[in-house]
Amino acid sequence: MHIPDGYLSPQTYLPLFGVFIGAIAVAVKKVKKEVPARNIPYLGMAAAFSFIIMMFNLPVPGGSSGHAVGSALIAILFGPWAAMISVSVALVIQALIFGDGGITAIGANCFNMAVFMPLIAWFIFRLICGKSRAPRRIVVAAFFAGYLSLVLSAILTGVEFGIQPLIASGADGRALYCPYDLKIAIPAMAVEHLLLFGIVEGVITALIVQYFVRQHQIMIYAFRTTGTDE
C-alpha cells in the first residue's frame, strides 16, 4: 500500500499531507495527556513493530504487492492517537531511508495507514467488543478490527489512485499520474487485501491481543480508559 512518487497529483497529496499534519498535531496533544512518561518506550517498540511488519512485502499478480501494517494492534493496545505517531514514524523512516513509499506521497501514505487505519480499527474494535472483557469476544473484535481496517485502507488507496485520471490529465486527455481509473484501481487494491493481507493483519492482531488478554489485560487501552463489564 506504499504509494510511490509519480502516482498522485499535487491536488491529492498536498491536501492529504495537510490533513496528516493536523491529525498528528492532535495526536501529540492526546498522547501527552494519556500516556505516562514511563510508557513512552512502548511507543518506540510499537513503531519498530510496525516498521518490521511492513517490510515483509509480498508480490501479487498484476504487478502490485501487499503487507500487514500493525496499526490496528497498536491502536487496541495503546490507543488510536499513539498508533498515529508510532506508525507515522515507521512510514517516514521507510520513505526517507529505504525508499519504500514516495517522498511526495508521505502525507498520503501516513494518512492511509497511520491516521485512517487506526481510527477505523479502534471504532470497529469498540463496536464489536463494547465494554465486555470476555476473552473470546475481545479476540474476535481484534481480528475484525485488523482485517477490516486494512481492507478499507486499501480501498481508500485505490480511490486515491483511481481519481487521478479524472483530476489530472494533459491537454491530450492522457492521465499525468496514475493512469488507472476507479474501475481498475479499487478492485486491484481491494481483492488482494480481502483475500490475503487483511486476513494476515487480522490473525496477527488477534493472536497478539489474545496474549495480552491472558497475561496483561490492563495493557489494552480500552480497558484502561473506560469501565468494563464481564
pLDDT of 172? 81
What nine digits make up the cell of 24? 498528528
- Residue ranges in the chain whose pLDDT is less than 50: 227-230
pLDDT of 121? 96
pLDDT of 230? 40
pLDDT of 226? 52
φ/ψ of 159, rounded to 5, equals -65, -45
pLDDT of 65? 63
pLDDT of 228? 44
Domains and CATH numbers, the chain: 10-224 (1.10.1760.20)
58-60/64-66 β-pairing: antiparallel
Instruction: Indicate if the alpha-carbon torsion angle 12, 13, 15, 20 is positive or negative.
Output: positive
Q: In whole angstroms, what is the distance from residue 149 CA to residue 126 CA?
A: 13
Q: Is 34 exposed, middle or buried (0-12, 13-18, 19+ CB in 10 A)?
A: middle
